[in-house]
Amino acid sequence: MYFIIIAFILIADQGIKYLIRAAMELNQSIPLIDGIFHITYIHNYGAAFSILQNKTVFLIAVQVIVISGILVYLVKKRKTEHPMLLLSLAMIVAGGLGNLIDRAANGYVVDFLDLRFWPIFNIADISVCVGCGLMVLYVLIIEPKRSRSKI
């Protein structure tokens, strides 16, 4: 189940990035809601919020290590861990893989979702952020209840 979620997010992310690259010029911006939401095609040579610019090899190494560790955990714990934790990890892996594919193939990540007041981002970034949010909810709400029930 979780590997289907990873595949779905990864296909959506890579498919939309392919369409953006094919249909738009670099730095072109198309307003969908003028001044609020644009599709703006850029290359991000760093990580989230463009930190660690031009540290491609380092970023690839970190992504490979983190994604590999999470995948091993997902395989080993898929039958015993809480579904929300597993979903959060699957979303983090999917987003991480989407950006890793870009970075390894091109040396940059394709970003295109532009809210005008926030750094431009992509589907993979959304997946990682939602996955992290679900993990925070799991740690703050579900895990304490599970721990108490084991006592």
Active site residues: 111, 125
Token couple for 31: 């307003």
Rg, C-alpha atoms of the chain: 17
Q: Taking the CB of residue 46, how many other CB atoms lie within 10 A of it?
A: 16
The order of strands in the sheet holding 29-33 is 29-33, 37-44, 109-114
CB within 8 A of 59, min separation 6: which ones? 46, 47, 52, 103
User: Using CA atoms, how far apart are residues 86 and 117, in angstroms rounded to an integer?
Assistant: 32
What is the residue whose two structure tokens read 């940059």?
A: 108
